[in-house]
Amino acid sequence: EAAVTQSPRSKVAVTGGKVTLSCHQTNNHDYMYWYRQDTGHGLRLIHYSYVADSTEKGDIPDGYKASRPSQENFSLILELASLSQTAVYFCASSDNNYAEQFFGPGTRLTVL
Amino acid sequence: QQNVQQSPESLIVPEGARTSLNCTFSDSASQYFWWYRQHSGKAPKALMSIFSNGEKEEGRFTIHLNKASLHFSLHIRDSQPSDSALYLCAVSMGNTGKLTFGDGTVLTVKP
């Protein structure tokens, strides 16, 4: 079974502060993704990457940056956290552009 | 931009029932179609996928795809309480791996 881990698992941040969410995969997958999920809703793609040192904007990139320093690691950065960014954030990885995406356990972020 | 809609929003069925979940998409160039299942407080996990028109069966689960109608569906035979979860459909254009998800259907199977 593919393994994707996220840290921290939960975080409380203050409005205007900087937040970094980390994702690590041991699957040797090229593709990695960051999604957010708001209560009772589906997933929306924030950023993704298909190769180290390169990231692409997803459907809702405003207010977020991403970094892919290696094949295994993919970070999501909120430079100035806002109340509207309170959500659960999921990282995922896949072997190619049509393969199953394997999700991490999620990070619950609360911005106060 | 791709628009993916699911129906119904929620569904309560008795144990043993046949359950049908629906998903419509807007872009006729879509190539890959997925159903993910998410139990409460857990990560989504892929359930089934289909890449061409028709039907695919895996155990109690069957997926139908009709690209001309911009519609695909998931059917669960002999629903179990353990099937209670949020079901998410997702569509990919294929070239980037990007998935567009629907908002989900909450399924509750009553013992």
Give the mutation candidate from B100, B107, B108 for the A interface (greatest A CB count, under 10 A): B100
Do residue B97 and residue A94 have CB atoms under 8 angstroms apart? yes
Q: Does A64 reach chain B within 8 Å, measured CB to CB? A: no
Please check whether residue B24 is in contact with residue B33, taking contact to mean a CB–CB distance below 8 angstroms: no
* pLDDT band of A31, cuts 50, 70, 90: very high
Q: Do A48 and B95 touch (CB under 8 A)?
A: no
pLDDT in tens, A37-94: 998 788 999 999 999 999 999 999 999 999 999 999 999 999 999 999 999 999 999 9
3-state secondary structure chain B: CCCEEEECCEEEEECCCCEEEEEEECCCCCCEEEEEEECCCCCCEEEEEECCCEEEEECCEEEEEECCCCEEEEEECCCCHHHCEEEEEEEECCCCCCEEECCCEEEEEEC
d(Cα A67, Cα A112) in Å, to the nearest integer?
25
The average pLDDT across B7-29 equals 97
pLDDT (tens digit, 9 = 90+) per residue, B30-75? 999 999 999 999 999 999 999 999 999 999 999 999 999 999 999 9
What band does A2 get if pLDDT is binned at 50, 70 and 90? low
